[in-house]
Amino acid sequence: NAGVTQTPKFQVLKTGQSMTLQCAQDMNHEYMSWYRQDPGMGLRLIHYSVGAGITDQGEVPNGYNVSRSTTEDFPLRLLSAAPSQTSVYFCASITTGRDYEQYFGPGTRLTVT
């Protein structure tokens, strides 16, 4: 099992450009999340999904869109990149219940100039 994969690993964008960060999991988890990691801020939840076709906003959703057409994939779209979106982005796939655990991807380091 590959677990949770993310592409690309690194990306540089110019202000105003759009792009999609890819996230895929092969563990058949219903729940998935996107976080951004910034120094001194910890990880903050952007969007999450509790199953195909169901998404909801997290703490910092502005400027980002998500969709969940399949259980495996949960892409994050930046509509019009801004320097404030420079960050490291982590996707997580989640088991629920007593063995609750979030499995994180390796991250995407995004720089917006």
Partner 1 sequence: AQRVTQPEKLLSVFKGAPVELKCNYSYSGSPELFWYVQYSRQRLQLLLRHISRESIKGFTADLNKGETSFHLKKPFAQEEDSAMYYCALGSGNTGKLIFGQGTTLQVKP
**Residue 10 makes contact with partner 1 by CB under 8 A:** no
Of these, 19, 27, 45, 82, which contacts partner 1 (CB under 8 A)? 45
Give the other-Cβ count within 10 Å of 68's Cβ: 20
44 and 33 Cβ atoms separated by less than 8 Å: no
Nearest residue (CB) to partner 1, 2 versus 14: 2
96 binds partner 1 (CB under 8 A): yes
Question: Are 111 and 12 a contacting pair, CB within 8 Å?
Answer: yes
CA gap 63, 11 in Å, rounded: 17
> Residues in the site for partner 1, rule: CB under 8 A?
31-33, 35, 40-45, 48, 50, 58-59, 90, 94, 96-98, 100-102, 104-107
